[in-house]
Amino acid sequence: MSESVIVASHLSKVVQTSEAELTILDDVSLRIARGASVAIVGASGSGKSTLLSLLAGLDLPSSGEIELAGQRLSTLDEDQRAALRAEHVGFVFQSFQLLGSLTALENVMLPLELHGRSDARERAAALLERVGLAQRVTHYPRQLSGGEQQRVAIARAFASDPAILFADEPTGNLDAATGQRITDLLFELNREQGATLVMVTHDSRLADRCGAALHLEAGRLLEQQA
């Protein structure tokens, strides 16, 4: 049996609104094996992005336990969770989340410099070439198209060789053709680097390319399809 890199047990997330308590996630348990590709799917409001945030340690559950890369998140404080993510996790978001004051090269170099990598510039340049942006390294995000910005974000996500890559609607702001190229790139790098890929998506074609799908409905996990 493959080693599990993410384990969630009886997760619940409840928030207080002005009118009543709102249950966003309700008793969700799952295991994701190292190197797997998993889609989290469901209608808007089903709790997909909340589940992704909890699994990545960006948010805390109201109840339940999460083990990420061998660490129980409930035993770590905020700084320790951030350090765990820096060491093991990469992110690709729908909104790209590049730093506007940095060039494409500098955006990709940033996580490498935070890790103290002496080869940060060379590694970042190689990744940008790998994603087809060798001629764009000195460009700022405002000078890049949406597809180009997402390719920079993917290069940044893979820069520190993460064990786990979380992607939240990575093609949501892109046209169909550009989204297809971004999807191909994600899966190519996933295979090459052996990272576990966990992706929130509304796109059934994107979900079908994953090895398994987690279906959420009204905060509950309906099924896991391998």
d(CA 139, CA 184): 23
- Indicate the burial class of 177 (C-beta count within 10 angstroms; 0-12, 13-18, 19 or more): exposed
d(CA 108, CA 179): 21
pLDDT tens across the length of the chain (226 residues): 468 999 999 999 999 888 889 999 999 999 999 999 999 999 988 999 999 999 999 999 999 999 999 999 999 999 999 999 988 999 988 888 999 999 999 999 998 998 888 999 999 999 999 889 999 999 999 999 999 999 999 999 988 889 999 999 888 888 888 888 888 888 887 888 888 999 999 888 889 999 999 999 999 998 654 4
What is the DSSP-derived secondary structure letter of residue 194?
A: T
Other C-beta atoms lying within 10 Å of the C-beta of residue 181: 16
Q: How, if at all, do strands 63-68 and 4-16 pair? A: antiparallel
Strands (E), the chain: 4-16, 21-33, 37-41, 63-68, 71-72, 89-93, 164-168, 196-200, 212-217, 220-225
SS3 67: strand
